[in-house]
Amino acid sequence: MLKTAATIKSALFCLIMLAHSPLFASDTDALYQQHCAACHNAKRLGGMGPALLPGNLKRLRKKAAIDVISNGRVATQMPGFAEKLSSDEIASLVEYIYSPADEEIVWDLAEINASHIRHNDEASLSDKPVFAVDDLLNLFLVVELGDHHVTLLDGDRLEPIHRFKSRFALHGGPKYSNDGRFVYFASRDGWISKYDIYNLKLIAEIRAGINTRNLAVSHDDRYVMVANYLPHTLVLLDAADLKPIKIFDVKNDAGKTSRISAVYTAPPRDSFIAALKDIPEVWEINYSDQPPVGFGQWMHDYNPESGEEPLVQEFPLRRIPADDYLDDFFFDQEYVSIIGASREGKGQVVDLDVGRVIVPDLALPGMPHLGSGITWQYQGRTVLATPNLRSGRVSVIDMETWETVKHIETLGPGFFMRSHENTPYAWVDVFFGPNRDAMHVIDKRSLEIVKTLRPVPGKTAAHIEFTRDGKYALLSIWDPDGAVIVYDAATLEEVKRLPMNKPSGKYNVYNKITRSAGTSH
């Protein structure tokens, strides 16, 4: 009898403990598939959102991860789940995403090559466009995230020409060839696509990573460099057919690996520039046929006075130490200085010519979105202006003294900022918070907000882009029942609306290939 009572007591104790314990693994996996997989991939490899694996979460502590799942994350589309999930369910999800994957994550040359697809032979296609427009350089590509399509838009008539399907969740902005004929896309899940705008045909595709940040195209149109979150690699592709040329494993001397924040081309330098998210370094990879003498060892052991022959190699790498991580960065127009900031808001300026940090404490509080920074002339000086992802302000910085000229207060955190050389105005959205339907127009001469537009009350207004001549400004309504709204850039009056499915970004060929000071590079 005593033995039976003890057994019952023990069983009751186990049931009570089970009720207060983390969920079974199968239950947690079901939770993940229900609430997380659509954005982060069923195997946690990343999609619309980043990969959720231990190697990608090194800088996020578990306590912070609980807060992110509960309350969402600033400056992302990550929602909060505190009202949908219990604290035990959230804690169980955190343990799940910090656990190793069931199988080893490998994506090397073999996997990349196996994914390669040739859709059309470029040599067999006409070098004349199959459509008629007044100006081939005044075309736009509009990325519609709602149903993963891209619309080709005539910037003169402001009418759609063609609409085609894209890979899931394009990210990082398309990049054009120098003549504007070809465009290269990157998707969150690593697919790189080359599209012939003149012939309205896909040329080739390849999966260069599992979770990809963005891509860059060399100014001579020979190479494409892909920046990956997973695996921690930079992948160099042949721009002609997207076949892989080389993989750069991104790690420091101690063997620590890193995601890549972003990669861009620096035309005057014949180089790709990459900032690392988990190692405080900037990487410069030269793609010219004759790299500068000793390029690959500038930051290491090459001594020009030693009399030894310098290292000569193809695609040499130069590593430049930084004072902090660069989660985001911006070039000056000469491609000498990198203005970078960590997610915690520490700003710094890296001089690529001398290979070191020259300003360690740039005044950029909050979380500046330098990837959306622009420049213009203000009182005879070049200034940088950047929105802020965490606070309602636009920071204006003198690019000679690196002093703050002004913080322009806005109705909330912003994501995109744009201008044009032929307009006195800069436009910045209020992407996050209750005023997400607002768009501020700033006078570049007075640094004052002169008008606040609310094109569709209650719906997010974002991402301005200008026509080639700066006459019209095109604004996106980020909604499945959205639109591209065209404004007269001088009078700020609405001209027309083009219905579209969550148009996230619009990219004018001329402004991108000439690297306008008013748009991102």
Write b or e for each residue in 441-454: b if 16 or more Cβ atoms lie within 10 A of its Cβ, otherwise e: bbebeebebeeebe
Residue type, 453: L
Report the pLDDT value the prediction gives residue 1, as an integer from 0 to 100: 41
Helix, strand, coil content of the chain in percent (nearest 5): 15, 35, 45
Confidence (pLDDT) at 19: 41
Compute the distance between CA of residue 482 and CA of residue 504 in angstroms, rounded to an integer. 10
pLDDT values of the chain reduced to their tens digit, one per residue, 521 residues: 444 544 444 444 443 444 444 466 678 888 889 999 988 888 887 767 778 888 667 667 888 889 999 998 765 678 999 998 899 888 988 888 988 877 777 899 999 999 999 999 999 999 999 999 999 999 999 999 999 999 999 999 999 999 999 998 898 899 999 999 999 999 988 999 999 999 999 999 999 999 899 999 999 999 999 999 999 999 999 999 999 999 999 999 999 999 999 999 999 999 999 999 999 999 999 999 888 776 765 444 545 566 665 555 689 999 999 999 998 889 998 999 999 988 777 889 999 999 999 999 888 877 888 889 999 999 999 999 999 999 999 999 999 999 999 999 999 999 999 999 999 999 999 999 999 999 999 999 999 999 999 999 999 999 999 999 999 999 999 999 999 999 999 999 999 999 999 999 999 999 999 999 888 77
Contact 208, 189 (CB under 8 A): no
Domain regions of the chain by residue span = 2-97
Around Cβ 232, how many Cβ atoms within 10 Å? 22
> Which pLDDT belongs to residue 9?
47
pLDDT at 309: 58
Written as six digits, the tokens of 486 are 């065209």
- Burial class of 254 by CB neighbour count within 10 A (0 to 12, 13 to 18, 19+): exposed
Q: What's the pLDDT score for residue 74?
A: 64
pLDDT at 38: 87
pLDDT of residue 12: 42
Q: Which residues are bridge partners to 265 per DSSP?
A: 272
CA-to-CA distance for 90 and 83, rounded, in angstroms? 11
Alpha helices in 152-261 (DSSP H): none
Contacts of 123 (CB under 8 A, 6+ apart): none
Structural contact between residues 106 and 228, judged by C-beta atoms closer than 8 angstroms: no
CA 228 centroid distance within chain: 11
Residue 29 pLDDT: 85
Spatial separation of the C-alpha atoms in residues 35 and 68, rounded to whole Å: 14
Sign of the torsion angle spanned by Cα atoms 162, 163, 167, 169: positive
Report the alpha-carbon distance of residue 127 to residue 125 in Å, rounded.
Answer: 7
Residue 182 near residue 197 (C-beta atoms within 8 A): yes
pLDDT of residue 308: 62
Burial of 56 (0-12, 13-18, 19+ CB in 10 A): buried
Amino acid at 374: I
Q: Which pLDDT score, from 0 to 100, does residue 56 have?
A: 67
Q: What's the pLDDT at 299?
A: 44
What's residue 345's pLDDT?
74
Could you tell me if 210 and 51 are in contact, meaning their C-beta atoms sit under 8 angstroms apart?
A: yes
pLDDT at 162: 98
Determine contact, residues 196/189, Cβ cutoff 8 Å. Answer: no
Protein fold of 2-97: Cytochrome Bc1 Complex; Chain D, domain 2 (1.10.760)
